[in-house]
């Protein structure tokens, strides 16, 4: 398991060299495929948040990366968005891309300098599973609770395994039971959990054989940017239907949580 410093350096190098959808997404599948994948993510995020988020809300987006979800909060009518990222590469570029918003370099587990009870909503997308240390994960949730107003909304994407957890150097795929217990300890109730993707991402919660076969098929289909674009275009309409029609996902899910008053 990489240390916090090593993880920060990893993301600094990665985003410095590739500040695109592939830099923050499933890099092995290329930029073109990731662009299609993020279209699905966008639709799920906007569909779910439009039902619960209040126009004019103040938002903290943690792990802003390229600002993809900052843009989605704008579409939802957020009045002010503060973004933070652990890398200088992201913060500097985000400030140029979104001059109307504020961006700071902060770690999710230490939001020092950000006042308590400040935000109506906190989003932390596609990032928590990259916190490989369980204690730091818990501290991140506690920090989200600290900066949210009572009754505030927490929006996260996670790989909620219903199989045994899996850990690597830069990623820890935890169980649904562990994640919901950690959220509860930090003061959050999970309101809703829905698939964010079904086939267009690593099948982390699928049987080993399917995980390897489908993963190999995706990598083969995306060996070049042109084939990746075609693969994404072919899967996109199917993926849109699947994320609407299924209750469980073998990959990334969206969790909407409420901070208890």
Q: How far apart are CA 61 and CA 248, in angstroms?
A: 25
Residues 6+ apart with CB under 8 A from 9: none
User: Is the sign of the CA dihedral 142, 147, 149, 155 positive or negative?
Assistant: negative
**Token couple for 79:** 């009045």
pLDDT digits (tens, 9 = 90+) for 150-197: 999 999 999 999 999 999 888 999 999 999 999 999 999 999 999 999
Domain CATH number, residue 109: 3.40.50.150
Q: What is the mean pLDDT of residues 115-127?
A: 96
pLDDT digits (tens, 9 = 90+) for 188-244: 999 999 999 999 999 999 999 999 999 999 999 999 999 999 999 999 999 999 999
Q: List the domain range (segments joined by +) for residue 36.
A: 4-259
What one-character-per-residue DSSP string does 221-260 give? Answer: HTSSHHHHHHHHHHHHHHHHHHHHH-S--SS-EEEEEEE-
pLDDT digits (tens, 9 = 90+) for 15-45: 555 555 545 556 788 889 999 999 999 999 9
Which residues on neighbouring strands pair with residue 105, listed in sequence order? Answer: 85
Does the pLDDT of residue 113 top 60, yes or no? yes
Please name which of 25, 23, 11 lies closest in space to residue 197, comparing C-alpha atoms. Answer: 25
Please name which of 59, 76, 66 lies closest in space to residue 144, comparing C-alpha atoms. Answer: 59
Does the pLDDT of residue 58 top 80, yes or no? yes
Q: What is the pLDDT of residue 169?
A: 86
Residues 6+ apart with CB under 8 A from 80: 58, 59, 101, 102
Does the pLDDT of residue 145 top 90, yes or no? yes
What mean pLDDT is reported for the chain?
Answer: 91
Question: What's the pTM value of the predicted model, to 2 decimals?
Answer: 0.89
Q: Give how many domains the chain has, as a whole number.
A: 1
């Amino acid at each position: 398991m990489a240390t916090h410093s090593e993880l920060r350096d990893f993301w600094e190098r990665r985003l410095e060299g590739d500040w695109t959808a592939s830099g923050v997404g499933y890099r092995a599948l290329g930029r073109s495929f990731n662009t299609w994948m993020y279209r699905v993510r966008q639709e799920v995020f906007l569909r779910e948040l439009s039902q619960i988020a209040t126009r004019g809300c103040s938002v903290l987006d943690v792990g802003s990366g390229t600002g993809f979800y900052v843009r989605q909060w704008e579409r939802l009518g957020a009045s002010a968005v503060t973004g933070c990222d652990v890398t200088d590469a992201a913060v500097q570029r985000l400030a140029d891309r979104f001059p109307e918003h504020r961006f700071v370099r902060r770690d999710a587990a230490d939001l020092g300098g950000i006042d308590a009870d400040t935000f109506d909503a906190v989003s932390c997308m596609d990032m928590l599973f990259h916190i490989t240390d369980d204690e730091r994960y818990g501290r991140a949730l506690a920090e989200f609770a600290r900066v949210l107003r009572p009754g505030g909304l927490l929006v996260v994407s996670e790989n909620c395994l219903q199989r045994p957890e899996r850990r690597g150097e830069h990623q820890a795929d935890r169980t649904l039971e562990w994640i919901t217990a950690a959220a509860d300890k930090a003061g959050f109730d999970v309101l809703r959990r829905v698939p964010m993707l079904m086939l267009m991402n690593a099948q982390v919660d699928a049987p080993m054989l399917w995980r390897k076969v489908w993963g190999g098929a995706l990598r083969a289909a995306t060996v070049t940017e042109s084939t990746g674009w075609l693969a994404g275009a072919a899967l996109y309409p199917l993926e849109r239907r699947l994320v609407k029609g299924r209750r469980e996902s073998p990959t990334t899910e969206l969790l909407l949580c409420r901070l208890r008053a």
